[in-house]
Amino acid sequence: MTEHLIWDPLMVQRYNRAGPRYTSYPTAIEFCTASDDANQRRALSQSTSRPLSLYLHIPFCSHVCYYCGCNKIVTRNKDRAEPYLQWLLQEIDLKAALVRQDRVVEQLHLGGGTPTFFSDEQLDRLITHLRRRFRFSDADSADFSIEIDPRELGPETLSTLRALGFNRVSFGVQDLDPDVQKAVNRIQSQEMIHQVMSEARALGFRSINVDLIYGLPLQTLDSFERTIRDIIDLRPDRLSVFNYAHLPQRFMPQRRINAEDLPAPEEKLTIFGMAIRSLSEAGYHYVGMDHFALPDDELSLAQAKGTLHRNFQGYTTHGNCDLIGFGVSSISQLGDLFIQSPVELDAWQTELARGRLPTARECRSSREDEIRKRIIMGLLCHLSVRFNDLDEEFGINSRDRFSAELARLQGMQEDGLLIIDSEGIQVTDAGRLLVRQACMAFDAYRTESEQPRFSRAI
């Protein structure tokens, strides 16, 4: 895997169309309304020894960040945490009762919202309950992570999480510039970030991730360069440098952002180009899709070994797991079945009160979906697809079957972004930032008219 990432702003502008992030295929917008929970029950009860990945969605936030497009409930009323926890424990019981007890949990992730909206004692009860209901792996490779808003940490929260078995944390930073922080209503000092990261290191968390966003209001090349430089000095194991997509018609909090304060498209590209250059010079490996990691981080090593995967949490080293989601809006992937819980809190609670598994939408992937997923994930995770591998795995002639899709990629090949030959498809150094565009050629559900439903790649 080369470390030579080519930044060509003219090429980026040419191909920078909106499209899915492909945390699944089919993507979540293809899910259909579910009539009942029967399919989910059957999928959870299947006789398989595949390991498990558990995702728990905690929707509450004490503050609204104006850029945010997540499914969340903004409230300062901490009393709302306990009833939600009780419903969550009930959902855990319902689902755990259906799952074979010998299946091992290799991955756990708490997201939101702000998971640390729960008190330390509530987090303890939640994880203790999970461990009683599921068999957790004690292998060094097990991955137990949580998303953290540094402003919402109590004095003992990190040590509590470490004692509960968490070994990876992700801190939402976004930008360290005070003016930008004020413009998006997320004020947190560099000293605070330094303190929580230092504490996490001292407690023995093996991987620390930092989330940053480029394209925020009042952000400039100079201001974000200072943020990048300061974060590099803190040396997180991973960084996510996300593109801010201004979609106020879809996300109400973004209506509080003055569009005139956003960097111009040309400056936004320059900002991201600077971030790529700075992180590369600092020794970070570009994993893909806005994600960077140190060369000895598990994501970098998995990509080098050809074992990297993607799921609803992004890039992962545990792609062999079935994913079980808990909480409002959570998504499960069980074999070829995708299930999403209701996105409204009342609807989620109503399902549980009736003794049903919360089931709002679902999708069963077809054999054709599986073939296309194999191509899309191969490009996203490993930058290549070999035709012979597809032919052997699925019993097809992939060159003929996807001749129309390959023809659509000729422009990218002529521009040096891809190499397409008799062996397969290879993404070049120049094409790594635009790999989503290659993936869309194999997405049977996408049309040009649907693109505004997604954010641009860069």
CATH of the domain at 216: 3.20.20.70
Question: Residue 207's pLDDT is what?
Answer: 95
Q: What are the φ and ψ backbone dihedral angles of 284, each rounded to 5 degrees?
A: -85, 140
Confidence class for position 13, pLDDT limits 50, 70, 90: confident
Q: Does residue 167 have a pLDDT over 70?
A: yes
> Which whole number is the average pLDDT over 25-50?
95
Confidence class for position 3, pLDDT limits 50, 70, 90: low
| Residue 337 counted as domain residue | no
Q: What are the φ and ψ backbone dihedral angles of 298, each rounded to 5 degrees?
A: -60, -35
| Residue 352 counted as domain residue | no
Confidence class for position 457, pLDDT limits 50, 70, 90: low
178 or 312, which is more confident:
178
Q: Are residues 8 and 42 in the same domain?
A: no
Last residue of a domain, one of 262, 296, 324: 324
Question: Residue 267's pLDDT is what?
Answer: 93
Q: Are residues 289 and 189 in the same domain?
A: yes
Q: What are the φ and ψ backbone dihedral angles of 32, each rounded to 5 degrees?
A: -115, 160
- Angle among Cα 206, 209, 215 to the nearest 5 degrees reads 170
| Residue 169 counted as domain residue | yes
- Number of structural domains (the chain) is 2
Question: Residue 314's pLDDT is what?
Answer: 85
Q: How far apart are CA 349 and CA 209, in angstroms?
A: 32
Confidence class for position 183, pLDDT limits 50, 70, 90: very high
Q: Are residues 167 and 133 in the same domain?
A: yes
Could you tell me the two tokens for 209? Answer: 């991730």
Question: Residue 21's pLDDT is what?
Answer: 87
pLDDT digits (tens, 9 = 90+) for 254-277: 999 999 999 998 899 999 999 999
| Residue 308 counted as domain residue | yes
Mean per-residue pLDDT over the chain, rounded: 93
Give me the CATH number covering residue 11: 1.10.10.920
Last residue of a domain, one of 258, 293, 324: 324
| Residue 172 counted as domain residue | yes
pLDDT digits (tens, 9 = 90+) for 87-132: 999 999 999 999 999 999 999 999 999 999 999 999 999 999 999 9
Question: Residue 409's pLDDT is what?
Answer: 96
Question: Residue 449's pLDDT is what?
Answer: 55
Q: Does residue 1 have a pLDDT over 50?
A: no
Q: Are residues 71 and 120 in the same domain?
A: yes
Question: Residue 393's pLDDT is what?
Answer: 96
| Residue 264 counted as domain residue | yes
Q: Are residues 254 and 378 in the same domain?
A: no
Q: Are residues 320 and 409 in the same domain?
A: no
Last residue of a domain, one of 261, 295, 324: 324
Q: Does residue 452 have a pLDDT over 70?
A: no
> Which whole number is the average pLDDT over 412-434?
95
| Residue 330 counted as domain residue | no
Q: What is the 3-state secondary structure (H, E, C) of the chain?
A: CCCCCCCCHHHHHHHCCECCCCCCCCCHHHCEECCCCHHHHHHHCCCCCCCEEEEEEECEECCCCCCCCCCCEECCCHHHHHHHHHHHHHHHHHHHCCCCCCCEEEEEEEEECCHHHCCHHHHHHHHHHHHHHCEECCCCCCEEEEEECHHHCCCCHHHHHHHCCCCEEEEEEECCCHHHHHHHCCCCCHHHHHHHHHHHHHHCCCEEEEEEEECCCCCCHHHHHHHHHHHHHHCCCEEEEEECCCCCCCCHHHHHCCHHHCCCHHHHHHHHHHHHHHHHHCCCEEEECCEEECCCCHHHHHHHHCCCEEECCEEECCCCCEEEEECCCCEEEECCEEEECCCCHHHHHHHHHCCCCCCCEEEECCHHHHHHHHHHHHHHHHCEEEHHHHHHHHCCCHHHHCHHHHHHCHHHHHCCCEEECCCEEEECHHHHHHHHHHHHCCCCCCCHHHHHHCCECC
- Angle among Cα 350, 359, 45 to the nearest 5 degrees reads 115
Q: Are residues 10 and 70 in the same domain?
A: no
Q: Are residues 45 and 19 in the same domain?
A: no
Question: Residue 448's pLDDT is what?
Answer: 60
**Cβ distance 170 to 185 under 8 Å?**
no
| Residue 353 counted as domain residue | no
Question: Residue 26's pLDDT is what?
Answer: 95
Q: Are residues 86 and 192 in the same domain?
A: yes
Q: Does residue 454 have a pLDDT over 70?
A: no
> Which whole number is the average pLDDT over 188-205?
96
Print the domain residue range for 388. Answer: 1-26+369-458
Q: How far apart are CA 177 and CA 261, in angstroms?
A: 14
> Which whole number is the average pLDDT over 401-413?
96
Q: Does residue 19 have a pLDDT over 90?
A: no
Q: Are residues 261 and 393 in the same domain?
A: no
Q: Are residues 7 and 72 in the same domain?
A: no
Q: Are residues 4 and 53 in the same domain?
A: no
Q: How far apart are CA 214 and CA 242, in angstroms?
A: 6
pLDDT digits (tens, 9 = 90+) for 334-361: 999 999 999 999 999 999 999 999 999 9
Question: Residue 43's pLDDT is what?
Answer: 97
> Which whole number is the average pLDDT over 383-410?
97
